[in-house]
Amino acid sequence: MRVIAGEFKGRRLEAPDWPGLRPTSDKLRETLFNILAMRIRGARMLDGYAGTGAVGIEGLSRGAAHVSFVEKDPRATGLIAANLQRCGIRDCYAIIRAAFPGVETQVAAGAHDIVFLDPPYGAVELSTALAAAAPLLEPETLLILEHATRDTVPPRCGPLALMRQVRSGDSSLSMYW
């Protein structure tokens, strides 16, 4: 894994050495940030189910003002911290060690311009993630959900409507605004 573009372009990121964590591929991150190109500079971003932190770090590299990394696994929060350090990122972020369903009590509604969620693949996990995200969203928030292409996503999430889907192999990005 590497940072694809921006200030930290080419920096290698550590991958997990334990099973059960599925980092967003370089290809899918590149697609995501090509879509976000006009929105990322100065944005406040939440990287839910952050895993390695690669998506949020890519956001910081491309000019996001702040990223909140939300991850419940202490090994993963350590990996996120190590990856931030590898890139020389010392501020403009927060690592919140918490399960995503439940973090809505720690994060204010409207605190983020972009909310990216990458829950474990499966329809039940999608529903849980979207229900937890709904209280965080304002009409101007962009919500991006990474999910298995085979899983169907609902047409609405809180005040947001599904506006676009991008498929890349077994993974898809669904965008709500």
Q: C-alpha dihedral over 143, 107, 58, 119, to 10 degrees? A: -60
User: What pLDDT was estimated at residue 105?
Assistant: 86
Q: Quote the longest CA-to-CA distance of the chain.
A: 39
Query: Among 81-85, 88-92, 104-108, 144-148, whose mean pLDDT is lowest?
Result: 104-108
CB atoms within 10 A of CB 133: 25
Q: Residue 3 pLDDT > 90, yes or no?
A: yes
Q: How far apart are CA 40 and CA 86, in angstroms?
A: 22
Beta pairing partners, 129: none
Question: Which token pair is 145?
Answer: 């959900």
Q: Please, which pLDDT band fits residue 21 given cuts at 50, 70 and 90?
A: confident
Question: Which token pair is 58?
Answer: 């890519």
What domains are there in the chain, each with its CATH number? 26-176 (3.40.50.150)
Each residue's pLDDT tens digit, 54-83: 999 999 999 999 999 999 999 999 999 999
